[in-house]
Structure 1
Amino acid sequence: MENTIDTKELNLTKKDFESDQMVKWCPGCGDYGILRSLENVFPLLGIPKEDFVVVSGIGCSSRFPYYMNTYGIHGIHGRAAALATGIKLTNPKLSVWMISGDGDSMAIGGNHFIHIARRNPDINYLMFNNKIYGLTKGQFSPTTPFGSKTKTSPQGTYEIPFNPGELVIGSQGKFFARVPDTNLKLMSKIFKEAAEFKGTSIVEILANCIIFQNKIHSMITGKETKEEYQLVLEHGEPMLFGKDLQKGLILEGTQLKVVELGKNGVTIDKILVHDSGTHDPGIHMMLASMAPPEFPSAIGVIRAVKSETFDDNVWASIEYEKDNTSITNVDELLNSGNTWEID
């Protein structure tokens, strides 16, 4: 099947995708910026408005279908991936956007999460990671840091959290990106790249829950620290970060190491160059795993590997059977092969 992206001019604007519904997130919630970014990106994709579908599960993020003036489904907890896959298979021309949170994706929806990454249908998956259950008022989620005190862990959590990027890449996912909710320009750029990627494009958004997990990403997003703890990746460019881009990454043995240009003989040609398209998941896994304070957090498109899609393969199988079977209707199917009459 052809990609859903159609570049013809449609003269759509942000206003065409704004809903008439009141947005009911807490003042200061990071989700507002995500909504604005997506409203800005949809008109740029060259896709007719009626060909967009927004699908969600349950959670604060999952109110999204009400807030986008498109077709949409507010589904059940953890099952948005199944709904989105079914929609894409039924009508491959649709641009399907799935919205989910860290709990919806990786707790009750964990099995669907790994299998949508593995199957690779042409779906855009935005995962809002605020590392807490917000809608149900502050319980720890699968991404809540170890030892955090929450409503359901008053003495501190005793579970090792998931890293979404590790889970995607370990599940043979083909596209993974990460972006903070504070950088709307970069977020819009990544959403557009996700839309143009043919396959399941999973974007982890570092979202802030101002009520139950405020400043959880502050080391990465804080004004005073973001230069030190954000490595903004660009395909084909050296992996540089820090003030004046004076720090970078090299491989020392089989491990990543932070170095500083001009010290200990380190020159720009020794810095790793990002290749988002390599099939080998090793370096992508290492980048996804990096975290402060030892390393910066990898921001941008970490992995974007071309591959066959689930929906293309399903439709190819259907067309093959149409061309090669002698059975033309259900009656013929039921009476084919070994059949018996029971008296």
Structure 2
Amino acid sequence: MTAFMGVPTTDTVLKAKDYASDQEVRWCPGCGDYVILATIKSFLPELGLRKENMMFVSGIGCSSRFPYYLDAYGIHSIHGRAPAIATGLAVTRPDLAVWVITGDGDALSIGGNHLIHALRRNVNMTILLFNNRIYGLTKGQYSPTSEVGKVTKSTPMGSLDHPFNTLSLALGAEATFAARALDSDRKGVTAVLREAAQHRGTAFVEIFQDCPIFNDGSFDVLRKEGYEQRLVPLVHGEPIVFGTDGEFCVVRDGFGLAVRPTSEASDIVVHDAHTDDPEYAYALSRLSDQDLTHTLTGVFRSVARTTYDDAARDQVARAQADQPTSDSSLQQLLLGRDTWTV
């Protein structure tokens, strides 16, 4: 059962250009959102779905302009509330492929409650969180993912807040699918999107994305010389080994995981994204830190669980089947045994 089971497919062979809207793309020059947009437009034809049955819902922020730039249906909604609106669509319209486009400020500040409950409920939608660790649209305040000590317009002496570990948050909320990618790694983003598309339930994908105006170079250590010492790629079924020559690895360490030199390790962890053990994926997320010393990318967790929308539709169908048609009129309801005092 895939994420888009029940969504009408198309016989027309689509290309990336078919998803380009007639709107001028208005992000700052050099913004990582351009790369993400191009990657997603190149990926969408793989799904073979009718564009008329694709819905992109966003909140407020730079990332939330995304629906304007795709030739598909979209809603530019309320600050932080995109997961709630997407939940309504997913429950009532099983013929839609529902996507949420959000940012670290939109999703993790005012929208935090909506995000965790969408993940907990396992609503059938794909959530893409663009994380640039800053408020870009409102001109450079610190966000829930900004590092401790971050100097911004709203924290001129440095942020005092401890930032969210976004993947830890998602997994703590019982996410059935959690992944991370880097905007400039088009191959990595596409691979994660491909797996997210196969997942029925809430597929949560964090994408590190550069803001060249208010947080320029925030992820440069993951792109420039020596990045192999910091990027830890996760591939299901393969040992977690990284470095220029595979000189580092991940091993079990008490109740958690740790990074060790491969030459000193006797039991390298083999990544299992499908394990029923939620503590394993959570331990993986804790290896990532705000200094980006170790940054894991790929799919952390992908497990099956009944989706909220499938269960809700089944419950409605059973209620309708159990309701005698002769007593379904408004008059019968008013004359029934239930009473109200006004």
Q: How far apart, in 2, do the equivalents of 1:175 and 1:199 lie?
A: 8
Give the conservation status (yes or no) of the 8 Å contact 1:3–1:93: no
What is the Cα-based RMSD across aligned positions, in Å?
1.9
Q: How far apart, in 1, do the equivalents of 2:340 and 2:232 lie?
A: 67
Report the counterpart of residue 144 of structure 2 in structure 1: 142
Report the counterpart of residue 229 of structure 1 in structure 2: 230
Report the counterpart of residue 336 of structure 2 in structure 1: 336
Q: Which amino acid aligns with 2:338?
A: N
Give the conservation status (yes or no) of the 8 Å contact 1:60–1:134: yes
Q: Which amino acid aligns with 1:258?
A: V
Q: How far apart, in 1, do the equivalents of 2:35 and 2:247 lie?
A: 30
Q: Please list, as runs of the form range in 1=range in 2, the aligned pairs for 1:100-179 lying within 5 A after superposition.
A: 100-179=102-181
Q: Please list, as runs of the form range in 1=range in 2, the aligned pairs for 1:165-204 lying within 5 A after superposition.
A: 165-204=167-206
Shift of 1:297: 1.1
Q: Which amino acid aligns with 1:313?
A: A
1:286 aligns with 2:287: no
Alignment CA distance shift 1:18-1:287 (3 Å): same
Report the counterpart of residue 251 of structure 1 in structure 2: 252
Q: How far apart, in 2, do the equivalents of 1:340 and 1:255 lie?
A: 56
1:319 aligns with 2:320: no
Shift of 1:192: 1.7
Aligned residues: 337
Q: How far apart, in 1, do the equivalents of 2:305 and 2:53 lie?
A: 24
Unaligned runs of 5+ in 1: none
Q: Please list, as runs of the form range in 1=range in 2, the aligned pairs for 1:20-169 lying within 5 A after superposition.
A: 20-169=22-171
Shift of 1:333: 3.5
Q: How far apart, in 2, do the equivalents of 1:17 and 1:76 lie?
A: 24
Shift of 1:285: 0.9
Shift of 1:193: 1.3
Q: How far apart, in 2, do the equivalents of 1:333 and 1:316 lie?
A: 24
The partner residue of 2:214 within 212, 215, 218 is 212
Q: How far apart, in 2, do the equivalents of 1:105 and 1:26 lie?
A: 21
Q: Which amino acid aligns with 2:167?
A: G
Instruction: Give the secondary structure class of the aligned counterpart of 1:244.
Output: coil
Query: How big is each residue's C-alpha offset from its partner over 1:280-308, in whole Å with a ceiling of 9 and x where there is no partner?
Result: 21111111122356952110010111100
Shift of 1:328: 2.8
Alignment CA distance shift 1:253-1:273 (3 Å): same
Shift of 1:330: 4.0
Query: How big is each residue's C-alpha offset from its partner over 1:253-312, in whole Å with a ceiling of 9 and x where there is no partner?
Result: 223222233x23x35xx2101111112211111111223569521100101111000100
Q: How far apart, in 2, do the equivalents of 1:181 and 1:340 lie?
A: 57
Shift of 1:188: 1.2
1:309 aligns with 2:307: yes
Structure 1 residue ranges, 4+ long, deviating more than 6 angstroms after superposition: none
Q: How far apart, in 2, do the equivalents of 1:45 and 1:278 lie?
A: 26
Give the conservation status (yes or no) of the 8 Å contact 2:230–2:292: no
Alignment CA distance shift 1:289-1:252 (3 Å): closer
